[in-house]
Structure 1
Amino acid sequence: MGVRRGRRVSAPARRAWRRSLHLRVVTLTLVMSSLLVGGFGWFIADRSTQILLDRAEDEVNAQMQGKVEYAYQQLTVHRQVFDKTLPLTIIDTVNRLADGDSAESGGAIVSLQAERFPELKPVTSTKVDTGPLISPELVHTVADDGQVGQQIRTGDVNGVRTKYLVYGSPVPTSFGQVELYYLVPLTTEDRAANQIRTTVLVTGLALVILLGVVAGLVTRMVVTPVRVAARTAQRLSAGLLDQRMKVDGEDDLALLAASFNQMAANLQRQIVRLEEMSRLQRRFTSDVSHELRTPLTTVRMAADLLFSEREDFDPAVARSAELLQAELDRFESLLTDLLEISRFDAGFAALDAEHSDLVPIVERVADRLAGLAERVGVTIELRLPETPVIAEVDPRRIERVLRNLVGNAVEHGEGRPVEVTLATDEAAVAVTVRDHGVGLKPGEERLVFNRFWRADPSRARQTGGTGLGLSISVEDARLHGGWLEAWGEPGGGAQFRLTVPVRSGDRLVAAPLPLIPRDRAIDVLPLALEAAPVAGAEDAGEPAEVAR
């Protein structure tokens, strides 16, 4: 639950990160510059602190040598540790070594101790407890090992927490060894180190902000023309072919704008030329179709007369009259299809939608093609619901689509049954037409809807079709706001699926029937997901590419 809420909250930021090159460049610049400046600043601050500490150690070490020499001179006159004047000499020596610099004023502390002579009490230049400042390790190094040692210790002196550089050195005397400790406060060095760190931090932040501003300005100079080019390209894709980019200067961005404008101009000329050619082609198709109507009517009248009187002719002449009648039927069908295609091309096709029951439409199509199916040895099997299937459709166009699909399935069924299935749900109605013939090769499920396309041009046709049936059918499906999709495999037959919304104008989301036949889904689906976007789209509940 928390992860989901976090994703919801971060969704705007992730969306802005994906969509904004400007944001990504500035963010990456800030991150990288912060790491670089932070690392360099840490190095500078660390080195500066170390330099200050080394200098303080050198000074204390030099002073410590003089203090050890002075203590030796003062204490070596006493031959016995039981000398009554020895404690006074120690006190006087400590005071002289402290030079009147008290710890209360932030000065150094001098302490003289004799670990080997418990009867000699430690003497300190000030009334400060040096126990927390002089560690047992340092005492062991100086008193037991007889070596010079140093440490940095922090302790409370008169309620103020102070860092000290502690030096310890053995002092040889006539009566034995004593230990001299010199504690120098590092207040000045700490203050200087803090100032250096603060300066480096402030300077680093200012530098990072400055780099971010510079990166933002530079990126904006580069990204703005790209965004302008993207917006101009979107307008061009929307049909506004006169859109151009503004060219400023002579740099690379200006060259990009000029090249883009040249490309847009070339595209505009090509599109205008193609549109003109397409318009002329549609005009030619429409004019030819209409102009052929008049002579076709005259020839039809003569052919009908010859066909009605063919029994009185010789067998050869009678057969010619029958062939003439059949070819005129085919020619008239071709003209009708060309006129229908020209209406779609011109955008004049209109949908006469009404609430219709699709069950009688499917049965009517099967009845009209029963004769053809009987001639080629194919049976048409209907799988229809027992209840009416009501949808807001144009019954004439739906019947034409189904007539084309079932007719093609009968023609290519290779004598095997053709299955027509009708199903519906709350949003859509689907009809599938399944044959078990030669099938479709990979990629042909897209080509099958092209005008005048045939899988095998040398193959004999039983129905004498025009080659425009599926092209008109896919346009009829789109006019309903529906899909017309195809699936097939070599030797496994083919299946076409028509899907239309129950209510005219609704948007389809899924189909009630699968595009891939259930008897082939197990074997075909893994291959289809890799090689056939049409079949893959079906299981996702979305239209295939050919139906879009």
Structure 2
Amino acid sequence: MILAYIRRALTFWRRSIQARVVMSTVVLTAVVISAVGWLLLQQTRDGLVRHRVDVVLSEVNAEMYETRNRLASASGTEVNVSKQQRDLVDPIIESGESRGFYVVLAGPEGNDVPLSVGGGMYSGGLDVSSVPAALERHFDAVNRSTAWTYTSIVHTDDAGRTTEVPGVIVGSQVQLPADGQTYTLYYLFPLTDEQETLGLVTRALLTAAGLLIALVAGITWLVTRQVVTPVRMARRVAERLAAGRLQERLRVSGEDDLARLALSFNQMATNLQRQIRQLEELSWVQRRFVSDVSHELRTPLTTVRMASDVLHDARGQFDPVTARAAELLQVELDRFETLLVDLLEISRFDAGAVVLDLEDVDLTDIAHRVVDAAQPIADQRGVKVVVEHPDAPVRAEVDVRRVERILRNLVSNAIDHAYPDADQPVSIRLASDEHAAAVTVRDHGVGLAPGESAMVFNRFWRSDPARARTSGGTGLGLAIALEDALLHGGWLQAWGRSGRGAQFRLTLPRYAGGPLRHSPLHLAPALANVAEDVPEPDDEETSGVTT
């Protein structure tokens, strides 16, 4: 089920220009908005932090000024160090609790007890690990300047909940009059407000970005729809024209480029319709002429044949010249009758009045019958014909008479065009699989020039009209063979090289009406010293000719 949805989505993506344009625009817009939004957030964060640091440093300076004044006023009376430390830290802690910052008192300098093991005084609930070690090392001697850095403030409230928030820590040194030692005061200011402000800005930017992307997607969809809709209409009309509905036209509205395109398309369709009708009428006239002439010639041909038979039987009583004329008349009447039969068969194909008489047979038996019938002509030409026996029967549901006619035409042509007394024979190969059966007829004769494999199945076409043909021929044999192959739903294809011979391949579906997607035999034979450059037909090929 999921794979079916994925395939449908991929098909929709491949076929829809509008979907690809909208998606591409949305993706590019999202990338641009993300980059701009990230830059704005960075600048906003830096601005908030810089402002907060300035405020923090001002507050610390004010606190330190007040602290030094308070110590100076008490220097004459206070002699207890611990009491003076508490008097120093407690007011600052109370101020920090009301103003939202924390205080740590470390020292005196020279005391090796670090804050992490209990040295110093600090605000309640504060984890002294919030003071960075690098900042502690900065104040490892007296007369150090005020310094600040970023840190993470860890605090535990009265309920036992521990929180960790980003913050700014500022350190400054102060000297107690009671013992004359230098101590370090650390002020820790949370950046909670700045973090909330940055979160608010981030949510606002995300909301604005989402709305903007949706707006851009909608606008892009509307704009592309105005362009794609006429294109889709043109595609539908073109499909109807291809299906034979030649009266279909596009609706023209406006005077823009699309309207002018529709007008040009309609003019093209009108011209095509007129030319197709002219060609159909001409083709119909030609088919009718061939059919009528073929049928009309049957009666006089029968009469002439009867007279020719009488003369041919009595040729022994004639003088040599008259006897030879009677023999030539019989030969030419045989050729004329063959031509007439072929013309009648072509006219039946053109009229669509041909049906198949299907049988499940072994094509090897048909090949042997064809070779046996052609053997006298092959012996006369000095050409050897062999059938390469397959390992298993090559069975298919076919019209035996028509398949035998196809093979007879192929074998006769191979004998006609093979080199006499050649070492390599005309070979017939057969093979089959679950879906198809194939027969190839290979000769080693004159072959086919470039481009002739696309013309060899044309009616009345010959590769060399001046060449003597021992087996006769009308130029319709391969055209009829192609029609017989297509009638079975099969392929009839040709391959050839000048001077290296030719090979014809007949491929038929194993079962009548079954799909034909491949052939069990290759179209191009394996030739030594000749590069193979003949592609196999596509899986969906239905053409009878491969060049």
Report the TM range for the smaller structure's normalisation.
0.7 to 0.9
Shift of 1:471: 0.6
Q: Is the CA contact (8 Å cut-off) linking 2:96 and 2:103 kept in structure 1? A: no
Q: Structure 1 pair 354/194, CA: closer, same or farther in 2 (3 Å)?
A: closer
Shift of 1:438: 1.8
1:101 aligns to what SS in structure 2? Answer: helix
Superposed counterparts of 1:54-69, under 5 Å: 54-69=50-65
Say whether residues 1:107 and 2:103 are aligned partners.
Answer: no
Say whether residues 1:131 and 2:124 are aligned partners.
Answer: no
Superposed counterparts of 1:459-498, under 5 Å: 459-498=467-506
Superposed counterparts of 1:172-211, under 5 Å: 175=180, 177-211=182-216
Superposed counterparts of 1:431-510, under 5 Å: 431-510=439-518
Q: Structure 1 pair 102/331, CA: closer, same or farther in 2 (3 Å)?
A: same
Say whether residues 1:116 and 2:118 are aligned partners.
Answer: no
Count of equivalent residues: 531
Q: Is the CA contact (8 Å cut-off) linking 2:491 and 2:544 kept in structure 1? A: no
Q: Distance in 2 between matches of 1:380 and 1:113?
A: 111
1:115 aligns to what SS in structure 2? Answer: coil
Say whether residues 1:148 and 2:146 are aligned partners.
Answer: yes
| Structure 1, 495-504 or 395-404: larger mean CA deviation | 495-504
Say whether residues 1:167 and 2:170 are aligned partners.
Answer: yes
Say whether residues 1:222 and 2:216 are aligned partners.
Answer: no
Give a deviation string over 1:222-250, Cα, whole Å, max 9, x none: 33333332232222222222223333433
Shift of 1:107: 2.3
Q: Structure 1 pair 312/202, CA: closer, same or farther in 2 (3 Å)?
A: same
Q: Distance in 2 between matches of 1:389 and 1:130?
A: 90
TM-score normalised by structure 2 residue count: 0.83
User: Counterpart amino acid of 1:17?
Assistant: W
User: Counterpart amino acid of 1:132?
Assistant: S
Give a deviation string over 1:147-183, Cα, whole Å, max 9, x none: 1111233221524634432222234677464434333
Q: Is the CA contact (8 Å cut-off) linking 2:447 and 2:501 kept in structure 1? A: yes
Q: Is the CA contact (8 Å cut-off) linking 2:41 and 2:198 kept in structure 1? A: yes
Q: Is the CA contact (8 Å cut-off) linking 1:474 and 1:547 kept in structure 2? A: no
Q: Structure 1 pair 303/490, CA: closer, same or farther in 2 (3 Å)?
A: same
Say whether residues 1:42 and 2:38 are aligned partners.
Answer: yes
Superposed counterparts of 1:106-505, under 5 Å: 107-110=100-103, 113-116=106-109, 127=124, 129=126, 131-142=128-139, 144=141, 146-153=144-151, 154-158=153-157, 159=161, 161=163, 162-171=165-174, 175=180, 177-354=182-359, 361-383=366-388, 391-415=396-420, 416=422, 417-421=425-429, 428-505=436-513
| Structure 1, 169-178 or 345-354: larger mean CA deviation | 169-178
Q: Distance in 1 between matches of 2:229 and 2:51?
A: 55
Q: Structure 1 pair 44/384, CA: closer, same or farther in 2 (3 Å)?
A: closer
2:128 aligns to what SS in structure 1? Answer: coil
| 1:71 alignment counterpart | 67
Q: Percent identity?
A: 45
| 2:116 alignment counterpart | none
Q: Is the CA contact (8 Å cut-off) linking 1:511 and 1:541 kept in structure 2? A: no
Q: Structure 1 pair 133/238, CA: closer, same or farther in 2 (3 Å)?
A: same
User: Counterpart amino acid of 2:52?
Assistant: A
Q: Structure 1 pair 204/502, CA: closer, same or farther in 2 (3 Å)?
A: closer
Give a deviation string over 1:251-270, Cα, whole Å, max 9, x none: 33333333333332222222
1:164 aligns to what SS in structure 2? Answer: strand
User: Counterpart amino acid of 2:154?
Assistant: G
Give a deviation string over 1:45-80, Cα, whole Å, max 9, x none: 221122111112212222333333333333345778
| Structure 1, 379-388 or 108-117: larger mean CA deviation | 379-388
**Structure 1, unpaired ranges of 5+:** none
Q: Distance in 2 between matches of 1:57 and 1:284?
A: 103
Q: Distance in 1 between matches of 2:83 and 2:366?
A: 129
TM-score normalised by structure 1 residue count: 0.83
Give a deviation string over 1:184-222, Cα, whole Å, max 9, x none: 333322221221112112222222222223333333333
Give a deviation string over 1:79-133, Cα, whole Å, max 9, x none: 78x95167666655556667x6342x552345555523869x9566x54546233
| 1:84 alignment counterpart | 79
**Structure 2, unpaired ranges of 5+:** 113-118
| 1:26 alignment counterpart | 22
Q: Is the CA contact (8 Å cut-off) linking 1:114 and 1:179 kept in structure 2? A: yes
Give a deviation string over 1:340-376, Cα, whole Å, max 9, x none: 1121112122223345565664444334433322332
Give RMSD over aligned pairs: 3.8
Q: Distance in 2 between matches of 1:291 and 1:30?
A: 73
Q: Is the CA contact (8 Å cut-off) linking 2:494 and 2:503 kept in structure 1? A: yes
User: Counterpart amino acid of 1:182?
Assistant: Y
User: Counterpart amino acid of 2:448?
Assistant: L
2:186 aligns to what SS in structure 1? Answer: strand
Q: Is the CA contact (8 Å cut-off) linking 1:420 and 1:434 kept in structure 2? A: yes
Q: Is the CA contact (8 Å cut-off) linking 2:84 and 2:176 kept in structure 1? A: no
1:33 aligns to what SS in structure 2? Answer: helix
Q: Is the CA contact (8 Å cut-off) linking 2:410 and 2:478 kept in structure 1? A: yes
User: Counterpart amino acid of 1:116?
Assistant: E
